[in-house]
């Protein structure tokens, strides 16, 4: 957060290779001035820590915890080793155990409050809400009998994988028009 504020104000820039922040135009500072600046920064940081005490680390304590391997396995098995939001397989992308109601909002480590999400979906959800994605996968199974979009003829399928298939449009708007479905 501090890095973003200082970058937006043109004070520092981030070296992409080292991921370190570099003070813009510090070349003109001599050694004494650099030491003075570092000392002032350390002093302000210590003052901030002293004034807030342990509260500055509270967010880490709330989200820390341990989910046993057995419980993790049960969650992943229940989800059939797929992300419960996007459906990607654990073979394709790492799956994480997510708290539906986040711990820092009072959520527990109980089996009923846990779901399997890939690392991307879990990172997007964060701890902002209590969305339960376990029913999303069941919605993929809802197919209407005879629906040309839900179940295309096999000879029209051009490409497919475990998440989706692409098929030729029965009524193409342009030459080569394709449709995509998520079985």
Residue 110 sits in the same domain as residue 158:
no
Q: How far apart are CA 157 and CA 138, in angstroms?
A: 23
Domain end position, chosen among 42, 61, 80: 61
Q: Which residue has the tokens 């043109």?
A: 10
Write out the E strands in the chain.
12-14, 21-23, 95-99, 114-118, 157-160, 165-168, 178-181
Q: Are residues 57 and 108 in the same domain?
A: no
Question: Does residue 88 sit in the same domain as residue 119?
Answer: yes
Q: Look up the domain containing 54 and give its range.
A: 2-61
In this structure, are 109 and 174 located in the same domain?
A: no
Q: Same domain, yes or no, for 30 and 82?
A: no
Domain shared by 90 and 133, yes or no = yes
The encoded tokens of residue 23 equal 């003070």
Average pLDDT for 93-109? 89
C-alpha distance from residue 70 to each of 97, 111, 117, 145, 147 (Å):
12, 11, 17, 40, 41
Same domain, 69 and 130: yes
pLDDT for 112:
92
Burial class (CB in 10 A: 0-12, 13-18, 19+), 118: buried
Q: What is the mean pLDDT of residues 86-111?
A: 89
Domain finish residue from 24, 41, 61: 61
> How many domains does the chain fold into?
3
User: In this structure, are 166 and 126 located in the same domain?
Assistant: no
Over residues 21-46, the pLDDT tens digits come to 888 887 788 889 888 988 998 899 88
């Amino acid at each position: 957060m501090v890095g973003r504020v200082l970058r937006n104000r043109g004070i520092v820039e981030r070296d992409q290779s080292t991921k370190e922040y570099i003070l813009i135009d510090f070349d003109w500072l001599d050694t004494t001035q650099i030491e003075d600046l570092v000392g002032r920064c350390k002093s302000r940081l210590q003052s901030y820590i002293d004034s807030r005490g342990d509260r500055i680390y509270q967010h880490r304590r709330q989200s820390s915890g341990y989910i046993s391997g057995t419980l993790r396995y049960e969650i992943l098995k229940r989800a059939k080793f797929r992300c419960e939001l996007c459906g990607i397989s654990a073979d394709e992308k790492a799956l994480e155990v997510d708290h539906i109601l986040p711990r820092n909002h009072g959520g527990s480590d109980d089996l009923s409050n846990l779901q399997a999400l890939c690392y991307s979906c879990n990172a997007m959800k964060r701890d902002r809400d209590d969305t339960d994605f376990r029913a999303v996968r069941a919605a993929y199974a809802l197919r209407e009998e005879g629906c040309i979009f839900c179940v295309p003829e096999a000879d029209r399928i051009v490409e497919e994988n475990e998440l989706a298939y692409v098929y030729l449009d029965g009524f193409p708007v342009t030459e080569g028009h394709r449709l995509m479905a998520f079985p």
